[in-house]
Structure 1
Amino acid sequence: MQFAIRTTNYQNQPMLNICDAEILGKKIIEGELTMHISENYYGERFVEKEEAESLLKNSSIINMAGKETVSLSLKLGIGSELAVKTVSDVPFLIIFNM
């Protein structure tokens, strides 16, 4: 399984945008809501599961999308099932630790 990632810093904190590689570039539509899983936002490069785990563990701010990505984060104890939002069967989770 590959993950699409983009890393940056926000207010001197490591920030990670990560999604399942297979949803990169797709539009998620539910009712009047349309979300684009943008290559500009998530698609700097592709990583395998081991690197994704390391990035998730070492980032203070994480924006994630996709079943595999959110599932991996929850298995690592990052985030809560209660905070997961789903749009058209695609889970999203945002983590903010300072």
Structure 2
Amino acid sequence: MYLKIHKSGSQTIVAVCDKELIGKKLKEGELVIEISEAFYKGEIASEEKIIESISNTTTANIFGSRAVQCAVDAGLVDPGCIIYIEGIPHAQLYKL
């Protein structure tokens, strides 16, 4: 899985996705999402590093079966909040 951390002022956004999704364009009705290298392709990371990064962020954007399941297993994402775009699981996390 890829892990990329974006920082903007006091905000941190963690982007995580399954490796094979980089560069894919997903469509669901009028919704079109591109899983871009610029946003998602960072370092290849272990589940432990991904869990640590998501745990310590204000916002996370997660795509793919393995990436989303990792966050669910760690108790960071509620399975009821997962959406599917072209059958690919997607979750977002916001800490207020």
TM range (shorter): 0.7 to 0.9
Aligned with 1:46 (options 23, 44, 47): 44
Gaps of 5+ in 1: none
Aligned to 1:68, what secondary structure does the other structure show?
Answer: helix
> Hey, what does 1:26 align to over in structure 2?
24
When the two structures are aligned, how many residues end up with a matched partner?
A: 96
> Hey, what does 1:92 align to over in structure 2?
90
Are 1:36 and 2:34 an aligned pair? yes
- Give the drift of 1:32: 4.4
Gaps of 5+ in 2: none
Aligned counterparts of 1:67 and 1:31: Cα–Cα separation in 2: 21
- Give the drift of 1:57: 1.7
Instruction: Provide the alpha-carbon RMSD of the alignment.
Output: 1.6
Aligned to 1:28, what secondary structure does the other structure show?
Answer: strand
- Give the drift of 1:50: 2.1
Q: TM-score, normalised by structure 2?
A: 0.86
- Give the drift of 1:83: 1.1
List per-residue Cα deviations over 1:28-86 (Å, max 9, x = no partner).
Answer: 23344432110011012221222112112221210111111111101111121121110
Structure with bigger strand share is 1
% identical aligned pairs? 23
Q: TM-score, normalised by structure 1?
A: 0.85
Aligned with 2:2 (options 1, 4, 14): 4
Aligned counterparts of 1:12 and 1:31: Cα–Cα separation in 2: 35
Q: 1:83 to 1:45 in 2, by over 3 A?
A: same
